[in-house]
Structure 1
């Protein structure tokens, strides 16, 4: 009889652990996809004296700029290409290291961060990969050391941490491992939720 009870208890605990694990690692609700508008194929060098900013809007002389803005390294290789529509960042923006390796690729819609934003170290290894929706973190946030080892894996929903959050040291050992549920931090040990001892100091 006791063996049956123990087996039944293990099954129940196993089911609870599975449900909790899934709930902590669920992806955020799928946000409606927003599309960037097409910008004119007009290219002007960023150092042109006609460019000027008024707050966060780019003007060329007296008109809000629509087109591409670029800059070159002394070697004549491309340093960056940015695209604007009515003076605001619109579409994919790209930057390169001076060794011709792509450094950054970001998407903007009306000056707001959108979709996947990626950055690479000078050696070509990934530096970060963020997901945005309407200028807020929404989805996975990943960061790497220059060596290529993962440093950070966080999850966000509408700009707020939610779900499994992990940090690593450069040697691969775990630095932090916790779960955010409704704004509260918890450590996960087996199937038991343990309150984070640093919760009060973090707030």
Structure 2
């Protein structure tokens, strides 16, 4: 009997793994066409980018006055797809983001013009998940927040530029507990015990 349960468990686990892999981002081959964003023919229609009367597939880019690339974003059938990058006029990277069928996915990064990291975030199916970190120009951590399905969940912290913590709270089932800003944070929900009386 144990062998039957073990076999069923392994089969269920295998099915779950196959399902997880199939729900991962699929590779879509974006055409190599690169079109400057300032050209006539681009328009937004039904939440999609159209070019010359049809959903755009290719790379749309902008340039700085000095001629260097400012942004370049991949599109597939009118929706953002693959990597989107931005650069400062110096050529240093400004951000790197990823999309699948118009939704944010994977790890996103941002940098200051000095090259120091500005932010890092993780997305899944358009929703923020995992840890988000934001940094001051001096390189110190400014914000560390945790997300689940696009909503704050768990420990949330914020620091000033000198490294002193100014906000420290926990989000549990949509409620905040802890220090928000410089004042003690009280849940927006009234005490359930007093409501029952």
User: Structure 2 length as normaliser, TM-score?
Assistant: 0.77
Q: Distance in 2 between matches of 1:56 and 1:120?
A: 28
Task: Look up the match of 1:90.
Answer: 81
1:46 to 37, 49, 69: 37
Q: Distance in 1 between matches of 2:99 and 2:143?
A: 24
How much has 1:106 moved relative to structure 2?
Answer: 0.5
Would you say 1:139 and 2:127 are equivalent positions? no
* Native 8 Å contact 1:107 1:115 kept in 2: yes
Task: Look up the match of 1:155.
Answer: 146
Q: Number of residues paired by the alignment?
A: 165
Q: Distance in 2 between matches of 1:104 and 1:57?
A: 22
Instruction: Mark the CA change 1:36 to 1:147 in structure 2 (over 3 Å): closer, same or farther.
Output: farther
How much has 1:60 moved relative to structure 2?
Answer: 1.1
> 1:58-117 deviations in whole A, cap 9, x for unaligned?
111111110111122121111111110001100000000111110011001111111111
Would you say 1:182 and 2:170 are equivalent positions? no
Task: Look up the match of 1:198.
Answer: 186
Task: Look up the match of 2:90.
Answer: 99
> 1:38-74 deviations in whole A, cap 9, x for unaligned?
2111111111112222142111111111011112212
* Native 8 Å contact 2:136 2:142 kept in 1: yes
Q: Distance in 1 between matches of 2:132 and 2:46?
A: 29
Task: Look up the match of 1:66.
Answer: 57
Q: Distance in 2 between matches of 1:35 and 1:145?
A: 35
- Name the stretch that deviates more: 59-68 or 36-45: 36-45
How much has 1:122 moved relative to structure 2?
Answer: 1.1
* Native 8 Å contact 2:129 2:149 kept in 1: yes
Larger relative contact order (CA 8 Å, sep ≥ 6): 1
How much has 1:148 moved relative to structure 2?
Answer: 1.1
Task: Look up the match of 2:10.
Answer: none
> 1:152-179 deviations in whole A, cap 9, x for unaligned?
0010110111111111011001111222
Query: Mind listing any 5+ residue stretches in structure 2 that lack a counterpart?
Result: 1-19, 190-197
Task: Look up the match of 1:19.
Answer: none
Task: Look up the match of 1:26.
Answer: none
User: Structure 1 length as normaliser, TM-score?
Assistant: 0.75
Runs of 4 or more, structure 1, over 4 Å off, are none
Q: Distance in 1 between matches of 2:168 and 2:125?
A: 28
